[in-house]
Amino acid sequence: MIKLIKTYHRTHNLLQNVAAISGDFHTHKLYHCFYDTFGKHMDGFIGNYDVCIDMARALNDWEVANGGSVAYEHLGTPWIEIVEHFVDSMILRSIETGEIPNARFILTAVLKDGGTP
């Protein structure tokens, strides 16, 4: 039963991360630049969801490895601020380099900064 509860929470947290990241991603002020640059190379609008899912998996894996939701308490930065900075960093880095970077690499940089832009 405990494993079932842990699995439920991990799945629920992953889905929350996908929803929040996708919302921020698709409403980001530079989204149109990202889409103009990468849309034709990644199956258009649908391909953006793959980026969001990769980002959510990276964030979820970090949460699981660092105690779940208490990871944000230890970091001293609210979850939504991490999500916003993660999305901002991913889009900016992609536009700057002309490539979509590894989500785990960007997340590590965001967390190293304490989640602040």
Structure tokens at 2: 């405990």
Instruction: Please name the residue ranges forming H helices in 28-78.
Output: 31-38, 45-65, 70-75
CA distance 50 to 44: 11
Give the model confidence (pLDDT) of 21-65 as tens digits.
999 999 999 999 999 999 888 877 778 899 999 999 999 999 999
CA distance 99 to 34: 10
CA distance 13 to 110: 19
CB atoms within 10 A of CB 100: 20
93 vs 6, more confident? 93
The answer to whether the pTM exceeds 0.85 is yes
